[in-house]
Amino acid sequence: MTKNIDWGNLGFEYTAADYRVTATYKDGKWSELKLTDDPTVHISECAGVLQYAQTVFEGLKAYRTSEGKIYTFRPDLNAQRLIDSANRLVIPAVPEEMFMEALDMLVKANEEWIPPYGSGATLYIRPFIYGSGPVIGVAPAPEYEFRMMCMPVGPYFKGGAKPIVIKVSDLDRAAPHGTGNIKAGLNYAMSLHAGEIAHAEGFSENMYLDAATRTCVEETGGANFIFITKDGKVVTPKSKSDSILPSVTRRSLMIVAKDILGLETEQREVLFEEVPEFAECGLCGTAAVISPVGKINDHGKEIAFPSGMEEMGPTIKKLYDTLTGIQMGTIEAPEGWIHEIK
Ligand SMILES: *Cc1c(COP(=O)(O)O)cnc(C)c1O
C-alpha cells in the first residue's frame, strides 16, 4: 500500500509523514527509541539549539526496487558521520546500532510514504540531534533530543538533468580547520546569504574556494565537486584545511569510477586556475546524486565546460547511471552498500 500522492510532481519540501522516531539524552544516557505521530517539538526557550546553534544532522534516502524491496544506501556512513559531527559540537553521539535501529523503525512505520519504483521520487530521511536543555552561559546543553523524520521527495531532475550555471562566491563557507567537514546547521545558516546573492544574480549555486588562500576549489553549499579530465580521469578536490564535507555520494562515485567503470581516480588539491582544463564538472550529494555543471562564472569571466548546457557529459552520465542503478537495485552493489529494510 502506498499513499495516494502525485509522486512525479513532488518537489523537495517538508511533508509530515505519519511517524518519526525520537530519543532523549538525560543524565548521561540515551532513552529507548520511541515512535511518535507528533510532528512538533516542545523545548526550553533557552535550549542549546536555539541560543548557540548546537545541532547536527544527516540526510539519506530509502528506495523501492523493481522487486518491491526497500533499500537504503550505505546508512552506516551516515551513522558514522553523525557521530563525527556530534563529537565536534559536544553533542552526545548516537551509537551506530541505535541509528540503524531508528532507521528500520522509521522506514517500516512509514512504508506507505515510500514512493513506488519508477516514479523517480524517493523517501528522504532526516536524522538530527539538538541541544534541547537550557543554557545561557556558553556551554554544551544539559539535555538532547535525537529525532529521525522522513518525507517523500520528487525526482530531482524533472524532464532530464539540465546542466546548471554556478558562480564563484566572494563569501566563504567554512573556516580552515573549522566546522566545514561536519554536517551542522550552522554551516548552512551562514551560507544562506551567499545563496541569496547567487540566486538574485541568476546562478544556481556558489562555488566556494578555500578560505585561507582562495586558490583551491572546495565545494558548494551542499554538494562536493567531481571533475573529469580531457583524458577521462575522475578528480575530486582534497581540502588544504579539512573544510570539505565528506559526501557519501562522492566517496561512492569515486569507488564506482575505479572499481566498476575502470576509470583512473584522484583526490587531490584542485587549483581554481586549472578548472578551465577539465572536460566535465558535477556536484555530488544525496539529493540529486550528480548535478551537471555547464558553466562557472568567475566575476564575469565564464568557464564553459565542453560538455555544454544541454545534457550531462558522457563520463558523468555513466557515473550517474551506475550509482542510481545500484541504489534502485538494478545493478549489483558492492558488498555492504545496501541495507535492506525488512
Ligand atoms: C550533505 C552535504 C554534502 C553531500 O553529502 P552526501 O553524503 O553525498 O549527501 C556535501 N556538502 C555539504 C556541505 C553537505 O552538507
Walk me through the domains of the chain, giving residue ranges and CATH numbers: 7-153 (3.30.470.10), 164-328 (3.20.10.10)
Q: Ligand 1 centre from 123 Cα, in Å?
A: 17
In this model, does residue 158 exceed pLDDT 90?
Answer: no
Residue nearest to atom 15 of ligand 1 (CA): 222
Distance CA 238, CA 225 (A): 10
Q: Ligand 1 centre from 246 Cα, in Å?
A: 7
DSSP states along 85-137: HHHHTT-PPPPHHHHHHHHHHHHHHTGGGSPPTTSS-EEEEEEEEEE-SB--S
Tell me the average pLDDT across 130-145.
98
Residue nearest to atom 14 of ligand 1 (CA): 222
pLDDT tens digits, one per residue of 5-21: 999 899 999 999 999 99
Ligand 1 atom closest to Cα of residue 81: 7
Distance CA 263, CA 247 (A): 20
In this model, does residue 159 exceed pLDDT 70?
Answer: no
Distance CA 219, CA 232 (A): 21
Tell me the average pLDDT across 280-303.
96
Q: Would you please indicate which residues are annotated as catalytic (active-site) residues? A: 183
Ligand 1 atom closest to Cα of residue 58: 1
**228, three cell numbers:** 573529469
What rounded mean pLDDT belongs to the chain?
96
10 Å CB burial of residue 49 (0-12, 13-18, 19+) is buried
The percentage of residues in the chain with a pLDDT greater than 70, rounded to a whole number, is: 100
**339, three cell numbers:** 541495507
* Beta strands at 29-30 and 20-26: parallel, antiparallel or unpaired: antiparallel
> If you ran DSSP here, which 8-state letter would residue 156 be given?
S
pLDDT tens digits, one per residue of 168-186: 999 999 999 999 999 999 9
Q: Ligand 1 centre from 236 Cα, in Å?
A: 14
Tell me the average pLDDT across 39-45.
97
175: helix, strand or coil? coil
Residue nearest to atom 12 of ligand 1 (CA): 222
pLDDT tens digits, one per residue of 201-259: 999 999 999 999 999 999 999 999 999 999 999 999 999 899 999 999 999 999 999 99
Q: Ligand 1 centre from 125 Cα, in Å?
A: 14
* Mutate which of 247, 251, 291, 319 for ligand 1 pocket (most atoms within 8 A of beta carbon): 247
Q: Ligand 1 centre from 247 Cα, in Å?
A: 5
Amino acid at 12: F
Tell me the average pLDDT across 265-277.
98
Ligand 1 atom closest to Cα of residue 285: 8
Distance CA 217, CA 225 (A): 8
With contact defined as beta carbons under 8 Å apart, do 133 and 92 qualify? Answer: no
- Ligand 1 is surrounded, with C-beta below 6 A, by 59, 183, 219, 222-224, 245, 247-250, 284-286
* Mutate which of 217, 286, 323 for ligand 1 pocket (most atoms within 8 A of beta carbon): 286
**113, three cell numbers:** 510514504
Distance CA 42, CA 227 (A): 45
Which residue from 144, 116, 131 is spatially nearest to 185, judged by alpha carbons?
Answer: 131
With contact defined as beta carbons under 8 Å apart, do 112 and 2 qualify? Answer: yes
Q: Give residue 156's pLDDT.
A: 76
Q: Give residue 161's pLDDT.
A: 83
149: helix, strand or coil? strand
Q: Ligand 1 centre from 71 Cα, in Å?
A: 20
Amino acid at 275: V
108 φ, ψ (degrees, to nearest 5):
-60, -45
In this model, does residue 157 exceed pLDDT 90?
Answer: no
**b or e along 74-88 (b: 16 or more beta carbons within 10 Å of the residue's beta carbon)?**
bbebbbbbbbebbee
* Mutate which of 224, 236, 243 for ligand 1 pocket (most atoms within 8 A of beta carbon): 224
Ligand 1 atom closest to Cα of residue 221: 13
243: helix, strand or coil? coil
pLDDT tens digits, one per residue of 194-211: 999 999 999 999 999 999
Distance CA 140, CA 90 (A): 6
C-alpha distances out from residue 326 to 74, 82, 175, 267, Å: 11, 23, 35, 23
pTM: 0.97
State the pLDDT confidence band at 60, using cuts at 50, 70 and 90. very high
